[in-house]
């Protein structure tokens, strides 16, 4: 940015450089293919949702190293090309007590994108509201 680059351009270039450095640190000289990301990331299959989509606990650091440096909490194949369409991933850095909330967020977001035709931004905003509502309900029930 000090050299005149716009913020978003500088952010994109910085992320690309970081991703390349992370891959090189793992001994991978070029871009990782989706299958490589999947092999490195998948840790434990947690189950399936009502539509038969597989829910995986994954190595979030591997995803950040190989595919997307800003990956946090979770994701699905309608948001990230390296995740198969029939899978939902939960980052292993998320505490077990937080995972139901993140999974709810991902399920709502996925449904809105896959079945409702919403863009990621709109689906994410609605999923965040649904997650907050679930959190409030859980806290109220526990109190």
Q: Per-residue DSSP letters for 77-90?
A: TTT-TTS-TTEEEE
Are 37 and 25 in a shared domain? Answer: no
- At residue 105 the predicted structure's pLDDT band, cuts being 50, 70 and 90, is very high
Are 37 and 103 in a shared domain? Answer: yes
5-14, 45-54, 133-142: which is most confident: 45-54
19: nearest Cα among 10, 30, 8, 9: 30
Are 48 and 21 in a shared domain? Answer: no
DSSP secondary structure letter of residue 137: H
Are 8 and 44 in a shared domain? Answer: no
Strands 87-91 and 74-76: antiparallel
Are 15 and 40 in a shared domain? Answer: no
Question: Number of folded domains in the chain?
Answer: 2
Are 78 and 115 in a shared domain? Answer: yes
- Of the chain, the percentage scoring pLDDT greater than 70 comes to 96
Task: Tell me which of 21-35, 44-58, 92-106 is least confident.
Answer: 21-35
What is the span of the domain harbouring residue 20?
Answer: 1-31
For the stretch 17-39, pLDDT in tens is 887 887 878 777 777 777 888 88
DSSP secondary structure letter of residue 51: T
d(CA 137, CA 75): 23
Are 19 and 78 in a shared domain? Answer: no
Are 41 and 80 in a shared domain? Answer: yes
Cβ-count burial of 52 within 10 angstroms (0-12 exposed, 13-18 middle, 19+ buried)?
A: exposed
- Record the pTM: 0.80
Are 1 and 52 in a shared domain? Answer: no
Are 43 and 1 in a shared domain? Answer: no
Are 40 and 72 in a shared domain? Answer: yes
- At residue 138 the predicted structure's pLDDT band, cuts being 50, 70 and 90, is low
Are 36 and 2 in a shared domain? Answer: no
Q: What angle do CA 41, 109, 42 make, to 5 degrees?
A: 10
The alpha carbon torsion through 102, 104, 110, 116 (nearest 10 deg) reads -140
């Amino acid at each position: 940015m000090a050299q005149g680059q716009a913020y978003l351009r500088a952010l994109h270039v910085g992320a690309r450089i970081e991703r390349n450095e992370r891959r090189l640190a793992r001994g991978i000289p070029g871009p990782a293919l989706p299958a490589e990301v999947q092999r490195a990331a998948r840790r434990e299959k947690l189950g399936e949702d009502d539509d038969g989509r597989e829910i995986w606990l994954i190595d979030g650091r591997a995803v950040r190293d190989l595919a997307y440096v800003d990956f946090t909490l979770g994701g699905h194949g309608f948001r990230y090309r390296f995740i198969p369409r029939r899978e939902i991933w939960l980052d292993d850095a998320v505490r077990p007590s937080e995972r139901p909330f993140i999974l709810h967020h991902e399920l709502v977001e996925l449904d809105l994108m896959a079945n409702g035709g919403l863009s990621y931004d709109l689906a994410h905003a609605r999923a965040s509201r649904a997650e907050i509502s679930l959190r409030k309900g859980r806290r109220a029930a526990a109190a």
